[in-house]
């Protein structure tokens, strides 16, 4: 299920692909392995922000001291038609068993993966599982306990706009780099590597550059509230804004990847756009749960207050009794379900309310 939206250029914050990378290499030497841009939806207007430091939070230095041993640099090597290539990103220790969280786009297609720890030592890693729908991946390493001090996950649903944050990682191969800023906005949407939507993403002005992908975004208590993933910038650098996958998504997906090597997502099978009444369905995919349940897509458009919106189809206003006021809310509500769940979807159809029962399917590997 995807939202129809205006698209703006965004860069994966992390793949640095080159031969013989060095810390002194110029920015021009770093190229993204995947040349497809990703996108973000602007949904929240940022109000006045608070300073990054508050009386009840740890200092940036204290957050660094608590966290730096858990943040790693990841190098993923692959053989392509053009020869051997190396991609560099970041990650963090998730548990004492040696699991490390990073971005899917950092390790995609890798034939070998290595992890560089805080003391400069490097160890081989094994790919545990990836989820292109959320751009998350888990690898694991066999390392002494002294190297496996996991970071704690926070609750991304309790994060406030204006709260201070710290980003850690290895931009341009400069391991152990720390930047700080604030939560600039919440409930953004990023496009995942397989073109599905990552909901509830966190926007930050903490500087994030190529190589930061997979590294943690930490709150003022040193808890992980997001995994840094993308940058929106005209130059592709930190002069723009960064986006992180929320920790509540990380918690759910990583547990599945560790258990089975893959993650399943509930699937409705529609495209939609936010309208004043809720989420208007603009496309119903053939053979999907939405089509089987009889949901209807728009057949035309109409103009309200100078804005052109879909008409002639269903507008979703409730899901299992929960009010739906936007396409993002509908996406998040479906994401919270499991494949095989039966849900009640209330729609406005020709001005009348109607409730349909939908049995959710399993999201395909890639969105159209």
Of 72, 55, 169, 174, give the one whose Cα is nearest residue 114.
72
DSSP 89-100: EEEEE-STT-EE
Alpha helices in 162-262 (DSSP H): 247-260
Give the chain's largest Cα–Cα span. 65
Asked if 220 and 54 count as a contact pair (C-beta separation under 8 A), the reply is yes
Q: Which two tokens stand for residue 306?
A: 């100078």
- With a CB cutoff of 8 Å and minimum separation 6, the contacts of 245 are 134, 135, 136, 190, 198, 201, 226, 227, 229
- List C-alpha distances in Å: 312 to 36, 80, 175, 213, 349: 34, 48, 54, 42, 8
Of 360, 304, 355, give the one whose Cα is nearest residue 331.
360
Mapped to the 3 state alphabet, what secondary structure does 110-146 carry?
Answer: CCEEEEECCCCCEEEEEEEEEECCCCEEEEEECCCHH
Torsion over CA: 296, 300, 305, 306 (sign): positive
Residue 250, SS3 per DSSP? helix
DSSP 193-210: TTS-EEEEEEEE-S---T
Residues labelled catalytic:
105, 135, 213
């Amino acid at each position: 299920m995807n939202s129809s939206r205006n698209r703006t250029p965004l860069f994966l914050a992390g793949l640095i692909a080159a031969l013989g990378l060095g810390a002194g290499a110029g920015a021009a030497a770093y190229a993204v392995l995947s040349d497809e841009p990703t996108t973000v939806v602007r949904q929240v207007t940022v109000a006045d922000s608070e300073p990054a430091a508050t009386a009840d939070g740890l200092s940036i230095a204290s957050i660094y001291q608590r966290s730096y041993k858990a943040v790693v640099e990841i190098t993923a090597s692959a053989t392509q038609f053009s020869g051997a290539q190396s991609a560099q990103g970041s990650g963090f220790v998730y548990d004492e068993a040696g699991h490390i969280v990073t971005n899917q786009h950092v390790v995609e297609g890798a034939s070998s993966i290595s992890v560089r720890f805080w003391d400069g030592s490097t160890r081989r890693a094994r790919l545990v599982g990836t989820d292109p729908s959320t751009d998350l991946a888990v690898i694991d390493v066999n390392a002494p306990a002294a190297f496996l001090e996991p970071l704690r996950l926070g609750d991304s649903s309790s994060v406030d706009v204006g709260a201070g944050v710290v980003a850690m990682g290895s931009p341009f191969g400069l391991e152990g780099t720390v930047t700080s800023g604030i939560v600039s906005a919440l409930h953004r949407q990023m496009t995942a590597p397989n073109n599905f939507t990552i909901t509830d993403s966190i926007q930050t002005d903490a500087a994030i550059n190529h190589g930061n992908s997979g590294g943690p975004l930490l709150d003022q208590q040193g808890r992980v509230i997001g995994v840094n993933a993308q940058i929106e910038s005209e130059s592709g650098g930190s002069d723009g804004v960064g986006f992180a996958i929320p920790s509540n998504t990380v918690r759910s997906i990583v547990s599945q990847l560790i258990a089975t090597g893959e993650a399943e997502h509930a699937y409705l099978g529609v495209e939609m756009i936010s309208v004043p009444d809720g989420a208007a369905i603009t496309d119903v995919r053939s053979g999907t749960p939405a089509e089987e349940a009889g949901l209807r897509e728009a057949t035309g458009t109409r103009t309200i207050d100078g804005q052109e919106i879909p008409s002639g189809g269903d507008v979703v206003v409730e899901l299992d009794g929960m009010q739906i006021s936007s396409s993002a809310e509908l996406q998040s509500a479906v994401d919270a379900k499991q494949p095989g769940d039966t849900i009640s979807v209330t729609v406005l159809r020709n001005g009348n309310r109607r409730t349909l029962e939908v049995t959710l399917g399993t999201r395909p590997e890639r969105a159209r």
